[in-house]
Structure 1
Amino acid sequence: METISGSRSGPGRGRCCRPGAGFGGASWSNGRPHYRRTRQASRAVSYLEDVLRVLWKLVAGAILSLTITVGSAQALTTQRVGNFQQPIYVTSAPANPDRLFVVEREGTIVVVENGEVRPFADIRSAVSCCTSERGLQSIALAPDFATSGRLFLFYTGEKEPGEIHVAEMVTSGATAPTGSLRDVIAPIPHSENANHNGGQLQFGPDGALYASTGDGGGGNDELHNSQDPTSQLGKILRIVPSPTGLTDAAVWSLGLRNPFRFSFDRQTGDLWIGDVGQDKREEVDLAAAPGIGQNANFGWNCFEGSLPGPATDSECASPPASGYVLPVFEYDNPADGCAAIIGGYVARDAGLGDTYGRYLYGDNCVGDVRSFSPAAPFATDRYEGIHVNGLDSFGEDSCGRLYAVSATGPLYRLLGPGTTTCSGEAEKTVTLAPSHVGVRAATRKVKRNRRALISAWVSPCNGRRGGQVTLWRGRRNLGTRRIDQVCSARFRPRIGRRSSFRVTVKADQTFAGAISRRLTIRPVRHHRR
């Protein structure tokens, strides 16, 4: 306030060359003071003082608001779970979040339960490790693990060095014997380079097993795999494991460079991918439910993030009709440094305070744990107050609690200002109130290539206003609208052929997500007169 006051009173008088030239003194005419002008000037001074006083209050309020906004993020803390041999991933038993499975890169898996650490599996004889990025990368326990004892593993093989294996083991008692290891899909050749293997396994909301593969390594997608729909490299693969024998791995998404880590939002089912960049951008890709990325092309090597890429893949000359799926978030890869994004999870642990509902991620080279709100990634990106040397992965247990894995040995659980109580399957997610989304059309027959009027409504209404609903034509997202004051939203899609529509509303901290019934609209021909 002193600075503003000084700037108001100083320059006017300090720079004048005769008395009274400022707002506060009398003006001079023919050597005599003109007091009428002085009274006008006084009123002007009073007016300006009032204006400046109001402006100062507004500025001070804005500064205070900004301070409160920045300071409202309560920094997370960590609790060390244990120290391990080159840990690279962690998950838990689906029905017991307190039983953690820690994956060690050389080919071993250990169990942590009630403070006790014990061996669970050892497949080092089958794993090629640890040249460049090779090794045992991750595991996924079957949803019925408690009864079936089945778990799935992603690793680079020893017999044909570098080839990618998605395999299965079955427990016997408290361990999984090496003799139970068998391939679920045919091994994927990956011998030319030791980097860009991908490495994530996750069960999706549809019950299928999903796997991520890198582009085959080297630079610029030199083997031209990412855009090749016949190659299984540079992809997200969808697998429905067979109890016996091999099964096919369907290409689900393409155009990825090295999607080392991806995850599904445990509440909404959305697919989040952290794709490691080359020398321009590190990126986070989003494939929303219910489509979760089927047939999505994330652009590499035609694009690197949202920037033009090397574009040496022949398919770049004919982009997909639906366009490339560009990242929802990205950051620069420093020219003189290192960057390698580690994709994380949307936080669904209520104990994490205002981090709940935000997407957590990190960088292997930097080690800082950061997060952003999915609704506004760039505007809300922030540091969470945690640094993990050699950050290699995040993990999530069946209660939604999050973990950070350091390649140097430690495994940490992320803690917030609140507490999280888990008691097995019954409390593995936050209990949400049920919700409903309905859909209807003004008419189910529309003249060809004209627009239909589709209305959606959400119930319960209280607490939902301002939220978002999304219209889908098959697996294609046609757009999102805000829920208005009467908890409805309207869409105007063009009807060129018979089309089926559904509307979805995402879960929030109070209500569960929902999907509408299917609505079919038919085009009718124009009648010529």
Structure 2
Amino acid sequence: MKTSSRLLIAVGTIFLAVAIVSGWSLTVSTALAEKVNPAIAPQQPAHAAQAPNLDLQISVETVIASGLAQPVQVTHAGDGSGRLFILEQTGKIRILQNGTLLPTPFLDISTKISCCGERGLLGLAFHPNYKSNGLFFLNYTRQGDGATVIERYQVSGDPNLAAPASAQTLLVIPQPYANHNGGQIAFGPDGMLYIGTGDGGSGGDPQNYAQNIDSLLGKMLRIDVNQGNPYAIPAGNPFIGKPGRDEIWALGLRNPWRWSFDRLTGDLYIGDVGQNLWEEIDFQPAGVGGLNYGWRCYEGTHVYNLSPPCPGPLTPPILEYDHSTGQSVTGGFVYRGITFPNLYGIYFYADFSQGKIWGASQSGGQWTTALLLDTPYTFSAFGEDEAGELYLCDYYGGKIRRLIDSRGGTPDLSGSKKTASSLYANAGEVITYTIRLENTGTAPANQVQVTDTLPTGLSYLPGSLQATSGAWDDSGSPVLRWSGSLPPSSQTLITYRAQVLPGGGNRVNQAQVSGIGFQPLTLTYALLTPRPRLNTTLEDFVLPGTQPNVISDPILLPVTCDVCHTSPIYDAWRGSLMSQAGRDPLLWAALEIANRDAPGAGEYCLRCHTPKGWLEGRSRPADGSALLPADVESGVSCAVCHRAVEPEPVSDPPDEASSYDQIVRAALALKPPLSHVGSSMLIIDPLDNRRGPFSLGITFAAHPRNTYQTDYLGRQQADAVTRSRLCGSCHNVENPVLSWDPARQQYWLNGDNLRAPSFEKGDLFPVETTFDEWLNSQYATSGVYAPQFAGAKADGMVSACQDCHMPRSRGIAAEPAFNPVNRDCQTTGCLPVHEFVGGNSWTPRLLLDPRWRLSAPDEAPFLTASAEAAQRMLRRSATLTLTLESAQGQKQATVRIYNQSGHKLPTGYAEGRRMWLNLKAYDANGNLLVEYGQYDPLSGSLTATPQVKVYEIKQGITPELASLLGMPAGESFHFVLNNTVIKDNRIPPRGFTAQALATRGLQPVGASYAPGQYWDDTQYLLPAETYSVVATLYYQTASKEYIDFLRTNGGVDAFTLGELWDTIKSPPEVVAVDIYPKNELWFPLIGR
């Protein structure tokens, strides 16, 4: 590739069309060229009035997407999602989200279009209110006659999928030939839809359509898609009430392939592809219609064919070049991003055939242009993202490239922070807030603006706003403002004070920071009120097992395991929630509240979610601020499980690790109870000796210490309980602050700075009982024939946790160079796929959102696979039957749900997790008569009526403890403070005995189940005219009520989680469906 030659207008083949030539009347005045549309840009940066410098070096070597089929447009939806939408000429719209090209197209209309050459899917425009109305528009040439079609679509309930059936045709323009179809559509700053059309093709516009005002060809059209049926003509179109088509906004265009509006000024730049000699850039000042750009009378500023009509006045191009330089202009954009200040205000355009990119600027009506880059690429289009950064479509390369300033320095304020003098406060206290702006970049941060709006619950103390530099203003309190500049390697401190007003919950305070050359920042601080209710310390949360800072060998990073192990091992684990346990937004939102309710409680959470950091002594302070990125990214890593020591010597005969494990147990200071597992009471080998289900019998360089086969790590001949105890270490969770008090007959506080007196089964309040549920099921005692879970196991029997959640497969566990043994599920055992699949399909989606501080966009393929595996697992977990009978002049539907899993349904962490029944009854004509369990996907609310059947566990606080804490009694999401179960109607698994049903933590509350009953029946009385019924069982990871609690009472992470919920609600996943009568083929589920 050639470097930037910075050829200014002295280059003979580049011409500036600013002179009046024969037949032309120059209509672009200096005043119009410099006008700013105040509706778009109320305040223009001061430097924008100067002519931008074209002494630039740019690069397009940064590729953000590849593997595309003939990309012809890249754009954004303006919905704040940060996604880029890419048009493939062959008929698909692809989504680039968080740096990942999603495999499923947003829309595929390839069967509708005529492609290719100059035909195909050519243009996409999102409605300015797309975020609220979900509407977008396409320009394509249709099958058959190749006519241009302008069509409207709507997004589906899934933001990454359009609804193909929503298509509505707005406009059809017949095309006499196969070329010169235009293609670009876009909404202008006035909210109208603009459509660029070519002259209909052939060559030389033989029918002179471009000058024919009764033809829509060779024009810029302008229509109102918010009015009329299917559209209206906007006021101000130049041919309203006159001869000519009312849709026409401008005329005299040959093939306006790509054009754009300047997002600051509203001016329109049109790249009009030339005939034989000249390519041109046309200009339309904002709001000025009726211009005639001269084709076919002129090609550029040069006479082509003056046969009538050639009406005046004609508007010449602002730029043109001849075909010795390039043969097909690609109109671009004015750069209005903030990342590259040197590029600000430059209009970029390119040539498709030659791969050249120019920059142009104007001052006082005079245009200057320069060749900036000469490449081997074929640029079919430029595009903008939401922030105004520019991209190019590399047509034959199938790539999207980013345009960057390759030599300009940039400011960097990403390290700026907002803090306060306290994390907690009671009403009446005065808190000092500090905003530290820090520029660690290599260029000044100019025109920096800070706006800090105090939330309800805080009262600003007048006169307290101060700063170490710049100008500050508190006259608009509670809105506080600061402005100034920051040289490289400098910082500014802004401080103010506020008083806490009465009322509980959080006080989330955000400061917005913007300026030239850096991405806008939001600095957030959450003040939690009131101060902690308990005076706990870290001692209150001590549990038996290996303690921090006692292991000798560090926990290896999981990526080291990827060297040897194959995709069923490492890749499957990488997308699992075991891997992502340290990134989980629900963890961090709940941890903030736990620390507020009981100081130090957060370390208890980190023990399970970030065991590497916990074992190596970085879980204090309990807010996780001392954790390293590797601690968070490792989650529950490979070494944590594979260094785990069996807490009880039950193997008979002894396994390979038995004698060594006894030495480790003997050296342990705090030994876990033998009768119970849970709460991460793990024993971890202090050395990196590794354990697994297979006997290796050889030494590997990658395993410098010993390797052992152990029943505890799932030797497949071992009994189910031994194999599952490791799983129970995290899937039984008890609160160490609350012990059973026989005198009070309830769980009660142990006392401040005092560890629990006992850790035996039932002695601590049960937060989660998944392992104990399984332990009392038929799965644990004799096993269950369940081939839907068994994977490659020939007998179809499942018993241990791993049999379902690490499905059995065939293959090799390591690369053949390290261990070539093929696990065949016969003589060499089965290969356990390490996907650790459960029912949570929501968290993987959250982790792909860049708004979350611990997002993992690079792991999108693994996370997507994890979400899909969770959906499959849910559909295996239950079955549903539906009957309909007549009853006393009405109809009665009976829905029976069978729990096919090895634990309660649903199970897991209690708060916000639920299943519910949705039932819809229809008459013989398909009209909906009644619906129970209605869910609104837009608000995330489940309609609360007596007929709604919700399966869940609700915990809460007894009146006695509530009185001590000064809190309301009853249902509560304060999991550290909850000491009773208010409701538990979850369906037991097979095999629950009367003893299990009466055990604390397992007994139903508000429901009744007989011993052995693993199903539940629900009856519905329906109208007599009921003909057909659809029953659906849904599962949801987190309810709206739980998210609202977190966002109201939590800190910054909970606030962010609330924002994520607003756009990515926890989806109701379909678990089971049945219909009556059985021959019905269609039924509606939850949808938009």
> What range describes the TM-score normalised by the shorter chain of this pair?
0.5 to 0.7
Counterpart Cα distance in 2 of 1:183 and 1:420 = 47
SS at match of 1:147: helix
CA contact (8 A) 1:97 1:422 kept: no
Question: Are positions 1:400 and 2:395 aligned together?
Answer: no
| Among 136, 146, 152, the residue aligned to 2:121 | 136
* 1:456-494 CA-partner distances (Å, limit 9, x unpaired): xxxxxxxxxxxxxxxxxxxxxxxxxxxxxxxxxxxxxxx
CA distance in 2, matches of 1:104, 1:143: 23
Preserved contact between residue 65 and residue 100 of structure 2 (Cα < 8 Å): no
Match of 2:295 among 273, 294, 300: 300
Q: Judge conservation of contact 1:277–1:333 (CA < 8 Å) in 2.
A: no
SS of match in other structure, 1:382: strand
Cα displacement (A) at 1:97: 6.2
Superposed, 1:44-55 pairs within 5 Å as none
Q: 1:216 aligns with which of 179, 200, 214?
A: 200
Q: Which residue of 2 aligns with 1:326?
A: 316
- Alignment match of 1:103 (pick from 83, 87, 96): 87
Give the stretch that moved more between structures: 362-371 or 380-389.
Answer: 380-389
Contact 1:154/1:201 (8 A) holds in 2: yes
| 1:325-371: CA deviation from partner (whole Å, max 9, x where unpaired) | 0011101123xx96010000111123234221111000011111111
Pairwise CA distance, 1:281: 1.2
1:146 aligns with 2:146: no
Alignment of 1:368-387 (within 5 A): 368-375=356-363, 380-385=368-373, 387=375
- Residue 76 of structure 2 is matched in structure 1 by 92
Distance 1:388 1:421 in 2: 33
**Aligned-pair CA distance for 1:247:** 2.3
Residue in 2 that maps onto 1:73: 56
Match 1:121 to one of 96, 101, 107: 107
Offset of residue 391 of structure 1: 1.0
Q: What is the identity, as a one-letter code, of the residue corresponding to 1:274? A: G
Q: Who is 1:284 aligned against?
A: 281
Supply the RMSD in Å over aligned alpha carbons: 2.8
Q: Please say if residues 261 and 343 of structure 1, whose CA atoms lie closer than 8 Å, have aligned partners that are also in contact.
A: yes
The alignment status of 1:309 with 2:289, answered yes or no, reads no
**1:364–1:392 CA contact under 8 A, matched in 2:** yes
> Secondary structure of the equivalent of 1:166?
strand
1:423-457 deviations in Å (ceiling 9; x for gaps): 9xxxxxx9899xxxxxxxxxxxxxxxxxxxxxxxx
Is 1:228–2:212 an aligned residue pair?
A: yes
User: What is the Cα deviation at residue 279 of structure 1?
Assistant: 1.2
SS at match of 1:168: strand
Partners of 2:382 and 2:373 lie apart in 1 by 16
Q: Output one character per residue of 1:208-245: Cα deviation in whole Å (capped at 9) or x when no partner.
A: 01010000001111122000011000000001114784
User: What's the % identity of the aligned pairs?
Assistant: 37
Residues 54 and 370, structure 2, Cα contact 8 Å, conserved in 1? no
What CA distance in whole angstroms lies between the structure 1 residues aligned with 2:109 and 2:163? 9
Q: Which residue of 2 aligns with 1:340?
A: 328
**Shift of residue 81 of structure 1?**
0.9
Determine the structure 2 residue equivalent to 1:443: none
Residue 485 (structure 2) aligns with: none
2:130 & 2:93 partners in 1: Cα distance? 16
Asked if 1:365 is matched to 2:353, the reply is yes
The structure 2 residue matched to 1:415, chosen from 404, 407, 421, is: 404
Quick one: structure 1 residues 275 and 234, their matched pair in 2 at CA, closer, same or farther if it must change by over 3 Å?
same
* 1:379 to partner: Cα distance: 6.5
Q: Indicate if the aligned counterparts of 1:196 and 1:215 stay in contact, CA closer than 8 A.
A: yes
The amino acid that maps onto 1:397 is D
Q: Determine if the alignment matches structure 1 residue 82 to structure 2 residue 68.
A: no
- 1:196 is aligned to 180
**Structure 2 residue matching 1:299: 3-state secondary structure:** coil
- TM-score (normalizing by structure 2): 0.31
Say if 2:341 and 2:410, in contact at 8 Å, map to a contact too: no
In structure 2, what residue type is equivalent to 1:359? Answer: Y
Q: d(CA) in 2 for partners of 1:307 and 1:197? A: 23
TM-score (normalised: structure 1): 0.62
Listed one character per residue, the Cα deviations across residues 243-281 of structure 1 (whole Å, up to 9, x for unaligned) are 784225610000000000110000000010000110121
Contact 1:76–1:352, Cα closer than 8 Å, also in 2: no
* Deviation at residue 156 of structure 1 after TM alignment: 0.5
Change (3 A) 1:386 1:419: farther
SS at match of 1:139: strand
Q: Secondary structure at the match of 1:373?
A: strand
Alpha-carbon distance in 2 for matches of 1:152, 1:388 = 32
1:256 to 232, 253, 257: 253
Letter in 1 for 2:322: D
Residues in 2 aligned to 1:93 and 1:422: alpha-carbon distance in whole angstroms: 27
Deviation at 1:77, TM superposition (A): 4.3
Q: Which residue of 2 aligns with 1:460?
A: none
- Give the counterpart letter for 2:292 in structure 1: N
CA–CA distance in structure 1, aligned partners of residues 203 and 413 of structure 2 = 45
SS at match of 1:286: strand
SS at match of 1:345: strand
CA separation of 1:413/1:310 partners in 2, compared to 1, >3 Å: closer, same or farther?
same
**CA shift for structure 1 position 114:** 0.9
Change (3 A) 1:386 1:395: farther
Question: C-alpha distance in 2, partners of 1:355/1:123?
Answer: 37
In structure 2, relative to structure 1, the CA distance for the partners of 1:226 and 1:81 (3 Å cut) is same
Instruction: Determine if contact 1:399/1:422 at 8 Å carries over to the other structure.
Output: no
Q: Flag structure 2 segments of 5+ consecutive residues without an equivalent.
A: 1-51, 234-246, 415-445, 450-515, 518-1088
How far apart are the structure 2 equivalents of 1:432 and 1:327?
37
Q: Distance in 1 between matches of 2:374 and 2:413?
A: 24
* CA shift in 2, pair 1:72/1:341, >3 Å: closer
Q: Match for 1:116: what amino acid? A: T
Deviation readout 1:33-92 (Å, 9 max, x if unpaired): xxxxxxxxxxxxxxxxxxxxxxxxxxxxxxxxxxxx999423334421111111110001
In the alignment, the residues of structure 1 paired with residue 277 and residue 54 of structure 2 have an alpha-carbon distance, to the nearest angstrom, of: 32
- Separation of aligned partners in 2, 1:259 and 1:102: 20
Contact 1:163–1:189 under 8 Å retained in 2: yes
Structure 1 121/103 Cα, relative in aligned 2: closer, same or farther at 3 Å? same
Distance 1:183 1:341 in 2: 30
Task: Classify 1:277/1:71 alpha carbon distance in 2 versus 1 (closer, same or farther; 3 Å).
Answer: closer
1:268 to 233, 253, 265: 265
In 1, the alpha carbon distance for the partners of 2:413 and 2:110 equals 34
